[in-house]
Structure 1
Amino acid sequence: MLRSLGRDATSVSRGVALVARFIAVFSVWVLGTRAASAHVKWFCAYDAAGQPRGLEHVLCQDFELLLGVAVLWFFSGCVVERTSLGELTARSLNRFTEGLRLHTEVMIRAVCGFFFISLWAVGGIILTPELKTTSAWVGPLQLAIAAGLLSRHTVPLSGAGIVVLFGLAVRDYGTFHLADYPIFLGLAAYLALTGLQKNLFGFPALDVVRCATAVTLMWASIEKWAYPEWSFPLLIEHPGITLGFNNEFYMRAAGMVEFTLAFALAWTPLVRRIAAAVLLGMFISACFEFGKLDVIGHSAIIVVLVAILSDNRPTEADDRAPWLAPAGLCAALTVTLFAYYVGHAAIFNTAVL
């Protein structure tokens, strides 16, 4: 009898713990995660060649619960998009962002100009704060890129300049490190395509940079699981970011929030616009938390998110059934995890598990 009561009590306590954990996960999703928007390599020590946390530790019970909540939110958003509430939301967004949509190209060019002038002013940086350089011609090239953005006729040259800087960064820091930043190649393609008034194999310029942004954020989210310890000094310095959760759980949650929202950028029109709005809130709040370095470093991605939020072009390819959403998210997560860990093991000779 006593053993039976003990087993029942244990089952109840486990059930209560699971419910409490679910509420914690739900709270993180509702309140957001500012640290998901702060690029840890800009603020803390890191070792990209170091052994990442094994997948057997990443794919834990918390990870499964977080993924379950992510699938629930993502699927719910896809269902709502097809309802009258979704149509009302889309119309409201259209009215709110109409002015931005009409000036998307000029807006992106202006912010990119600010970005490259800021890099030149700071000096010694290729594309992002941790990509240091002593090359004397990087600064003049950054100024030339900014100058080329003043006219549509020279914008493709600015795009070519960004590709040159990206290639220099790959040479100095390696392919795996620059896998964090395909958004710059997406921006280069956007500038070239808009300047030439062309599409890329039928894909409009904005769709190209949108997908590059999604890949950038999905890849960055894996680092929050593979190297959570990189962010711990940041969380100690800014304890309010964690919303009271322990650092390990918070980093798992931050990674899942960022990955899901990033994948949503590649999904249907309303879902990606809402995801862009949430990501915008996270990035902008991080700018207040981490200062001007974060403002400069994330200005390019912020303007792309504004452009995605303002984009109201539906296409036939965007008409996906809601039931495809969970499968798509899980498939993308599996592929990205596999690519990250296998790629790291191949380049740095580290273990996968």
Structure 2
Amino acid sequence: MFALLAASPAQAHVKWFAPYIVGASPAPIDQTLTNLWFWAAIGLVLVFFIATRAIERGTVGESILIGMDRVSDPLWNRLDDFIRVVIGAFFVAVFAVGGVYLTPDLQTPAEWVSWLQLLIAFGVFSRKTMPLSAAGIILLWALALRDYDFFHLLDYLALGVAVAAYLVLAASRNEEWRKHRFQVLRWGVAIALMWSSLEKFAYPDWFYPLVEEKPFLTFGMPRDVFIPMAGVAEFTMGFGLLWTPLVRRLSAIALFVIFNAAVYPFGRIDLVGHALIMAIIVAIAADHTRELHFVPKLKQSLQSVPAGLAIALVLFVGSYWGLHSAFYGPEGAPQEVAERATHSYNLESQHGPMASGAIADRPAPEVRVRRDAKSDAKDQPEGPAAAAYEATMATMHGPMMKGMRHPDPDVAFMLGMIPHHQGAIDMARVQLQFGADAETRSFAEHVIAEQEAEIRQMEDWLVRRGIRHARFESQREPD
């Protein structure tokens, strides 16, 4: 009752938070390997994992596991029902949202997709139709991969394949196959988390606007300390889901707390987008099994923890940077540019006159926008830096013009200057990403510091006059 009375407009916590070039080369890996905070976070996690593993090997560890079993018994006894209910509820939710594939930030104008989602939801409650629902999920992921950039959806793909595999295995009459149904879910979430965590090292600038807009998320830590440590936390907790029973259950509990903490500041759509991951994390925390199916001997010794983590880092980092180079080439692919930089975007302007009803009225997640291949060559940005600069201007223009239309000239000045300053900040970040001249880099850092301070002053001025201004908010142009 209280939640209903206190309901507020929802926003989507989506994958990208800043202007970006789809094919832009990731930051050099040595930038991460020479980061003190990266190694500090790795050290803290290793202490946690090794201590947990040492306790797990003794009677205290077994007592802790038995206690966790008792607490989670009601859920464990109905775990298949729980998973299927959540999968069904998720697809009903995305059906209700409408215009999306399998997460709120993968938009589609195809109306039939929503009806397929409803059929998938109905199909998960019968063994006979669960494989059909699994096929529907794979079809939707194939369509999403067709419409969106493949490389940056590999984490989503791991989760989608895992959910589909669970439905197939859960429906099987072969108990040897069926016993692995929860294991495939665990692997799917673990791979998704470890892969997506690498974006915080490869593209830290994508996350800058988020921590600036919601600074409380960093717990008071500087931005450049928080982002690499958050990346380590996400990667290592995903790794922990594949380890021994106590390590994986404690990792799942930690992840559940982290994901739940994001629901309040980001709204209901965030809950919808992360519902499957959160449900699988709960299932992992409730899993009573003690068997180790993958390299069990490696996982049993304390020395294997740092060795296993090192292997996982090398495998995923090598795959991420290597596949990016394979997809886009060593210099990246500047022809594919994302021109929106917010938690929401102008649905009609990006996809034509498809926005109606709830879709038109709610904040929608951003999508990546591919540049028309038929565009005149002279209009194409020459190199990744030029494309990034162009993206900052495309982001700035709409909100700035919208703000300057305010009838009060003082308010119009503030509303216009905030996105103008943000455009300067975004340009300075592009310079820091691509530029090499020490004097110019110093000036860019000065611009960021000064303009951010002035933006805060202008936002405070607006707040004192009862005017709310959401930076990075997309503005719909009048017809």
* Shorter-normalised TM range: 0.7 to 0.9
Q: Distance in 1 between matches of 2:98 and 2:175?
A: 34
Q: Which structure's residues are more often helix, by fraction?
A: 1
The answer to whether residue 118 in structure 2 is matched with residue 143 in structure 1 is yes
Map of 2:409 onto structure 1: none
1:272-321 deviations in Å (ceiling 9; x for gaps): 01111110111111112211111000011111011111111111544622
Judged with a 3 Å threshold, the aligned counterparts in structure 2 of structure 1 residues 197 and 178 are, in CA distance, closer, same or farther, namely: farther
> Please, which moves more after superposition, 92-101 or 341-350?
341-350
- Secondary structure of the residue aligned to 1:190 is helix
Q: Distance in 2 between matches of 1:116 and 1:339?
A: 31
Q: Which residue of 116, 129, 132 corresponds with 1:157?
A: 132
Contact kept? 1:210, 1:266, Cα under 8 Å: yes
Judged with a 3 Å threshold, the aligned counterparts in structure 2 of structure 1 residues 223 and 277 are, in CA distance, closer, same or farther, namely: same
Map of 2:32 onto structure 1: 58
Q: Distance in 2 between matches of 1:177 and 1:201?
A: 31
Q: Distance in 2 between matches of 1:338 and 1:294?
A: 30
Counterpart of 1:151 in structure 2: which amino acid?
S
Shift of 1:56: 1.9
Q: Which residue of 232, 249, 256 corresponds with 1:273?
A: 249
Q: Distance in 2 between matches of 1:67 and 1:125?
A: 37
Contact kept? 1:148, 1:155, Cα under 8 Å: yes
Q: Distance in 2 between matches of 1:121 and 1:62?
A: 42
The answer to whether residue 181 in structure 2 is matched with residue 208 in structure 1 is no
Shift of 1:234: 1.2
Higher Rg of the two aligned structures? 2
The runs of at least 4 aligned residues of structure 1 exceeding 3 Å deviation read 42-48, 197-203, 316-319
Shift of 1:226: 0.9
Judged with a 3 Å threshold, the aligned counterparts in structure 2 of structure 1 residues 180 and 47 are, in CA distance, closer, same or farther, namely: farther
Map of 1:289 onto structure 2: 265
Alpha-carbon RMSD across the aligned residues, in angstroms, is: 1.9
Q: Which residue of 327, 333, 343 corresponds with 1:347?
A: 327
The answer to whether residue 230 in structure 2 is matched with residue 250 in structure 1 is no
Shift of 1:43: 5.4
Contact kept? 2:249, 2:286, Cα under 8 Å: yes
Contact kept? 1:54, 1:351, Cα under 8 Å: no
Shift of 1:224: 1.0
Q: Distance in 1 between matches of 2:331 and 2:51?
A: 37
Shift of 1:87: 1.4
Shift of 1:138: 0.9
- Secondary structure of the residue aligned to 2:15 is helix
Shift of 1:66: 2.2
Q: Distance in 1 between matches of 2:90 and 2:108?
A: 17
Q: Distance in 2 between matches of 1:316 and 1:231?
A: 36
> Please, which moves more after superposition, 77-86 or 140-149?
77-86
> Please, which moves more after superposition, 238-247 or 57-66?
57-66
Q: Which runs of 5+ in 2 are unaligned?
A: 1-11, 333-479
Contact kept? 2:13, 2:269, Cα under 8 Å: no
Contact kept? 1:209, 1:304, Cα under 8 Å: yes
Q: Which runs of 5+ in 1 are unaligned?
A: 1-37
Contact kept? 2:18, 2:205, Cα under 8 Å: no
Q: Which residue of 216, 237, 241 corresponds with 1:261?
A: 237
Q: Distance in 1 between matches of 2:302 and 2:326?
A: 36
The answer to whether residue 91 in structure 2 is matched with residue 116 in structure 1 is yes
Provide the TM-score with structure 2 as the length reference: 0.63
Shift of 1:173: 1.4
Map of 2:71 onto structure 1: 96
> Please, which moves more after superposition, 343-352 or 330-339?
343-352
Q: Distance in 1 between matches of 2:185 and 2:142?
A: 18
Counterpart of 1:132 in structure 2: which amino acid?
Q
